[in-house]
Structure 1
Amino acid sequence: MDQDYSIKIDIDEKIGVERALKKFKRFCESYGVIREYRKRQEYKKPSIRNKEKLAAADKRRKKANVKYSRTSKM
């Protein structure tokens, strides 16, 4: 699952440094570089990762049910 990230932004007179930096951050976000970095900061055992995944799915399910029950009463 290793991916080679090569993001290149050309800076010229029209774009400017600030806009180029914003563009670079957007590219990093869209390619998932930040998400991958945070994931690799610390090692988690597969069992713990699975428990967290199940807990997040349960939380999403409960949130959707609350949202659905609010709209059905009206």
Structure 2
Amino acid sequence: MNGIVVRDNEKFEKAVKRFTKICERAGVLSDVKRHRRYEKPSAELKRKKNARERKRLREERRKLRSYR
């Protein structure tokens, strides 16, 4: 579990900002969003496969642009 210790004379807003950054780096929000609903294993594989394909096409387009 992520946590912070509020320092002496530290403003509350600054402590919240620090906590938010720690949670962001740890990937807490993305993990919560991913586990919000159950995803069947086949649906997860399909989603990951589509993401790989989109990434491959994006890289391919970027390489083609650099050759021009």
Q: TM-score surpassing 0.5?
A: yes
Query: How many percent of aligned residue pairs carry the same amino acid?
Result: 26
Q: Identify the match of residue 30 of structure 1 among 25, 30, 35.
A: 25
Partner of 2:47: 52
Q: Residue in 1 aligned with 2:56?
A: 61
The C-alpha deviation readout for 1:6-63, integer Å capped at 9, x for no partner, is 31231431x3111111111000011111111111100000000000000001000100
For residue 35 of structure 2, what is the aligned residue in structure 1?
Answer: 40
Aligned-residue RMSD, C-alpha: 1.2
**Structure 1 residue ranges, 4+ long, deviating more than 2 angstroms after superposition:** none
Corresponding residue for residue 10 of structure 1: 6
- Determine if the alignment matches structure 1 residue 72 to structure 2 residue 47: no
Unpaired runs of 5+ residues, structure 1, are: none
Amino acid of the residue matched to residue 38 of structure 2? Y
2:14 counterpart (13, 19, 36)? 19
Please give the secondary structure, in 1, of the residue aligned with 2:37.
coil
Any gaps of 5 or more consecutive residues in structure 2? Answer: none
Q: TM-score, normalised by structure 2?
A: 0.90
**TM-score computed with the length of structure 1 as normaliser:** 0.83
